[in-house]
Every structure is written in structure tokens, then in C-alpha cells.
Homo-oligomer: A and B are copies of this chain.
Amino acid sequence: MTTRWLSPEEQRAWRAYIAASLLLEDAIDRQLQQDAGMPHLYYSILSVLSESPERRLRMTDLAERLKITRSRLTYAVTRLEKDGMVRREACRYDKRGSIAALTDDGFAVLDRAAPGHVETVRSFLFDRLSEEQVGQLEEISMAIAQGLQEDGTRPASDDVPWRRRSSTACS
């Protein structure tokens, strides 16, 4: 089967996209590292927890929401716990389970960092896009995410990467 190479338009879109996502993540990471002493992912963990019932969530659910591996989450939560932003609790329904709970300190840090973070996202992203483009970005992102989440086991070819499923993500 002969390769369907990218058209010039696709080529341009792909390169622009790669560049933009690298630069944006970078800028956000830098800002949060500066102002909150943690990378974007860690901030997102606090953020998701803060919106969850009782400000706590099971590790697996948290990983699922954030679209990251369990192992990566374990490391991150360990660090956040060390810093007193999060506390681990046992799950009483399932003794295997572990629950991450946002501490008051964690909430305070989040609260302090939020305005700066939003400002950054706004100035680097939304201030540059028209209202229409915001809608387009959402649709495009949803389409991409959907394709990557739909349940593993694809027909035939087994060297195609698969991905875990879940609903929507975080800040």
C-alpha cells in the first residue's frame, strides 16, 4: 500500500500546529513554574481536584481526566504530597484504591496562582483568536481527542497506537 503523503496544506497545518503547541505549553509551563513553583500538569491536578466533589478523586479517575498514565500521576502526586498540596487517603470501598485529596494549602496555592494562569492563557491564546476561531478550536480538538480515545482494540493492524478512554479534560 502506497503512502498517502501529506498535501502542502496539511503539511503547513501540521507544522504550524506542532510549533504552536510546543510554544504554548512552554510558555504556560514557564509562567506556572515562576508563579506557582510547579509545571502545568501539576497545576492541573490541583485544579481538577478542586472541582471534584469533596475535592478528592481516585488516582485512576484523576489520571483518566488528565489523559496521563497512572505512573506519571503517581510521581506527580508524590511530589505534591511532599509539598503539602495534596494528601493521599485510603479508599474504603476498595482496598486497592488510593484517593488524592486537595489540602487547604493546596487550595490556597491554586487560588493564588489562578489569576496569573488565566491571564497567560488569555493573552497567548484567546486574545489572539476570534470568537469564531475559539469555536473552531474546540471542534477540532474534540474531533482529535475522540479519535484517540475511542476504545483500544482496533481491527487488524496491531502496531497502531491506542489510547485510553474518558470524558473531558482540565485546565
Contact = CB atoms under 8 A, between A and B. Distances in A.
A161 B27 contact: yes
Interface stretch (A73-81, A90-98, A136-144): A136-144
A108 interface: no
Contacts of A129: 140, 143-144
Nearest to A138: B13
Contacts of A18: 44, 169-171
A170 B23 CA distance: 13
A10 interface: yes
Interface in A131-160: 131, 133-149, 159-160
Interface residues of A, number: 74
Contact of A148 (B6, B44, B124): B124
A137 B25 CA distance: 17
Contact of A10 (B30, B114, B126): B126
B148 A23 contact: yes
Interface stretch (A54-62, A99-107, A115-123): A115-123
Contacts of A6: 118, 121-122, 126, 170
A70 interface: no
Given A4-B118, A22-B67, A161 B15 contact: no
A163 B14 contact: no
